[in-house]
Amino acid sequence: MNQLENIRLFLLDMDGTFYLGDRVLDGSRPFVEKIDSLPDCQLAFLTNNSSKNRRDYVAKLSRMGFSFADHQVITSGEAAAIYLKRQKPGARIFLLGTESLEQEFLDAGFVLTDENPDYAVLGFDLNLTYERLRRLCDFVRSGVPYIATHPDFNCPIENGGFIPDTGAMIAFVEASTGKRPLVIGKPNRYIIDSAAEKFHLPHDRIAMVGDRLYTDIAVGANSGITSILVLSGETSLKDLEDSDIQPDYIFQDLGELAEQL
């Protein structure tokens, strides 16, 4: 039996897989239509970007002409909240992150605090201050469990170029404290564990579809799910020749994947 026939949830990377900037990639609409026609299949978007919450992404997809529900988007921020809710519901959290990420944690029932936290959480934060970073280092040194939403060093911006991302802040804290966090986002399995819990599915019924070997495809190997590489974004066939990370399937784009379902 074709392994793809067993998949009940396709987790899609966004930029380079479903769209590029503000342009919907060829094959994305046929893929959505195909999934809609399969009664036992569903799709969700999975992103390491913790600066926005689910509603932000649903709004962007709506502007592109797609109608998705909030639950069909999973960010590393939501995955971190799911992970921590499993550890200690209603925990006190010292959080570095955007207002959207703060709202994600408040919606999950956590208490955000600057004093005596149960956990210290580092996410993407455009309003970071030295004082907040200093407090994070103090908490980490004192042994407060330390979580980061994702490991990306840089975040691409729409007009080209990059800005420092959460991974750069992880390096800052490590240089000061000698400690590294538990990282939730791709390529680590915790984000897939959170998705499996959210959709009530075993890992062998989930596939990750993306264009980056070191995040999208690596998370497949690290979590025991099917990995599907699309060549519509960052990775080319030549990149695969020298890579230790190999996908289970390769397609030109989501449209070609849809034809195989």
Expressed in percent and rounded to 5, the helix, strand and coil fractions of the chain are 40, 20, 40
Q: Confirm if 13 and 210 have CB atoms less than 8 A apart.
A: yes
Q: CB 183: neighbour CB atoms within 10 A?
A: 24
Judge contact between 18 and 12, C-beta under 8 A: yes
**In 6-162, which ranges are continuous DSSP H helix?**
28-37, 54-63, 76-87, 99-107, 130-141
Candidates 212, 202, 192, 221; CA nearest to 7 is: 202
Q: Judging by DSSP bridges, how do beta strands 146-148 and 119-122 pair with one another?
A: parallel
What are the pLDDT digits (tens) for 158-182? Answer: 666 788 899 999 999 999 999 999 9
* CA-based R_g, the chain, Å: 18
Looking at the chain, which residues constitute the CATH 3.40.50.1000 domain(s)? 3-48+186-259, 77-183
Contact status, residue 206 vs residue 195, Cβ threshold 8 Å: yes
Element (H, E) at 177: helix 166-177
Buried/exposed code over 84-104 (b: 16+ C-beta within 10 A; e: otherwise)? bbeeeeebbbbbbbbebbbeb
Chain centre distance of CA 219:
10
Question: Model-level pTM?
Answer: 0.89
Instruction: Provide the CA 225 distance to its chain's centre, in angstroms.
Output: 15
Q: Give the pLDDT of residue 88.
A: 97
- Residue 255 structure tokens: 């449209």
* CATH classification (class only), 77-183: alpha beta
pLDDT at residue number 50: 84
Round to whole Å and give the CA distance between 236 and 9.
25
Cβ atoms 214, 187 nearer than 8 A: yes
| Class of domain 3-48+186-259 as given by CATH | alpha beta
Give the pLDDT of the chain (261 residues) as one tens digit per residue. Answer: 358 989 999 999 988 899 987 889 999 999 999 999 998 999 999 999 888 888 889 999 999 999 999 999 999 999 999 999 999 999 999 999 999 899 999 999 999 999 999 999 999 998 899 999 999 999 999 999 999 999 988 877 666 678 889 999 999 999 999 999 999 999 999 999 999 999 999 999 999 999 989 999 999 999 999 999 999 888 889 999 989 999 999 999 999 999 999
C-alpha span between 206 and 16 (Å, rounded) = 20
Query: What DSSP line would sit under 96-116, residue for residue?
Result: ES-HHHHHHHHHTT-EE-SSS
Burial of 50 (0-12, 13-18, 19+ CB in 10 A): buried
CB atoms within 10 A of CB 130: 7
Distance CA 235, CA 215 (A): 11
pLDDT tens figures, 79-111 = 999 999 999 999 999 999 999 899 999 999 999
